[in-house]
Structure 1
Amino acid sequence: MNTVHELIDEIDHGSMPDAERRKVLLAATGVLGGVGLLAAAYPFIASLEPSARELAQGGPVLSDISTLAVGELRTVAWRGKPVWLMRRSDEMVHALQQPNPALADPLSKRSEQPASCVNATRSERPELLVAVGICTHLGCSPVLHLDDGALNAELHAPGGFLCPCHGSRFDLAGRVVKNVPAPTNLEIPDYRFTTATTVQIG
């Protein structure tokens, strides 16, 4: 079997038949072209892969809710956003399931939530609220109020959320009341239960 140097020697000195010389030159050109194409394509392909930071920000987040008390609001970070986890009492759930003329979008028709959460409690399990804690007006974070008499009267419920920036108000399902700056209900992210007490967000 000829080595590369011997083949080059034969091509240079014309001792190789023309047909064979053409085959060798075509093969060599194909190999060099393939290597060049791979070298040129690598940076482009590498740029399509998400960075470690993007993977960390966009990946799912697991949260154990086994110790989440009734009325407690816990915040976890997901995709750079605060996501609320709140265990609602039976009284809170009952209030959410009643008609409330104060709400701008009670059936969440103009709001962002998974299909499994298009219901009065905007959740997969009535007792657990999972919501992005960012006001849909200008991005402030609303504050939970459980003992605000005026808010409770407006929402016909034992509690709600009040945005400290411009006064938007939301019930315990994240539904916005009428005539406030926030245009839509709070966002409900995609989530699922991986165990009876573990929620995967994203």
Structure 2
Amino acid sequence: MTVDKHRRRILLAATSTAGGVGLAAASVPFIASMQPSAAARAAGAPVEVDLSGLSPGDIRTVEWRGKPIWIVHRTEGMLARLGDHDALLADPQSSQPQQPPYCSNPARAIRPPYFVAVGICTHLGCIPVYRPEDVATATGADGPGGFYCPCHGSKFDLSGRVFKNVPAPLNLEVPEYGYLSDTRLVIGEHVGPG
């Protein structure tokens, strides 16, 4: 019996090609199942916020990626008080990377009147309380205002910077954000200058 080597090579190549195509076709649904669902993509999608109804001194909370995001419209008086208490803060220059580079400034904001932060304490994840005029429990009667965490007593100023000698180790996190217009903010992506 004679072996036809040419025919054997052709059959081997055809079988290998068919097997490779079958493997690729079988792996497509498997790889597609690893992609996030539409609901998961929507949960992580950027969120737009209309700032037009937010009065100076007020705070608005929106949800992004399952977290509360605070937008505080700071008054001129609030902004003026930001530099008065640096000696009381653990990280007054925001050296730790808790904010995007374009928010590494004393106001920790692109536009100083608007402070945007994740409303979760950096200690154990409680939700601090907004106290715009005075965080008396934080600094005494002449406190600068800010945020107080009732769970374990952590205190943050109106730029989300943590006070010394409290349980929270870091400043409040500032998410990536940007401005679509003078009255529209987008949280979750940086757009525009800054």
TM bracket (short chain):
0.7 to 0.9
Instruction: Tell whether 2:68 aligns with 1:82.
Output: yes
Aligned pairs, number: 185
CA change 1:124–1:169 in 2 (3 A) is: same
Rounded Cα–Cα distance in structure 2 between residues aligned with 1:55 and 1:147: 38
Q: 1:64 aligns with which of 50, 54, 57?
A: 50
Deviation (angstroms), 1:155: 9.2
Rounded Cα–Cα distance in structure 1 between residues aligned with 2:101 and 2:20: 48
Tell me the TM-score normalised to structure 2 length.
0.85
Residue aligning to 2:163: 177
> Which structure: greater helix fraction?
1
Residue aligning to 1:116: 102
Instruction: Tell whether 2:161 aligns with 1:167.
Output: no
Residue aligning to 2:136: 150
Q: 1:126 aligns with which of 112, 133, 158?
A: 112
Structure 2 unaligned regions, length at least 5 = 189-194
What aligned pairs does 1:44-63 form with structure 2 within 5 A after superposition? Answer: 44-63=30-49
Secondary structure of the residue aligned to 2:86 is: coil
Contact 2:135 2:148 in 1 (8 A): no
Tell me the TM-score normalised to structure 1 length.
0.81
Residue aligning to 1:100: 86
Give per-residue Cα distances to partners, 1:103-124, cap 9 Å, x unaligned: 1110111241000111111110
Residue aligning to 2:18: 32
Aligned residues with identical type, % of pairs: 54
Residue aligning to 1:136: 122
In our comparison, the structure showing a higher alpha carbon Rg is 1
Rounded Cα–Cα distance in structure 2 between residues aligned with 1:87 and 1:146: 10
The 10-residue stretch of structure 1 (92-101 or 115-124) with the greater mean CA deviation from structure 2: 92-101
The 10-residue stretch of structure 1 (23-32 or 43-52) with the greater mean CA deviation from structure 2: 23-32
Contact 1:89 1:127 in 2 (8 A): yes
The 10-residue stretch of structure 1 (165-174 or 108-117) with the greater mean CA deviation from structure 2: 108-117
Structure 1 segments of 4 or more deviating over 2 A?
Answer: 18-31, 97-100, 146-158
Deviation (angstroms), 1:24: 6.1
Residue aligning to 2:182: 196
Structure 1 unaligned regions, length at least 5 = 1-17
Deviation (angstroms), 1:101: 1.0
Secondary structure of the residue aligned to 1:129 is: strand
Aligned-residue CA RMSD (Å): 2.3
Secondary structure of the residue aligned to 1:62 is: strand
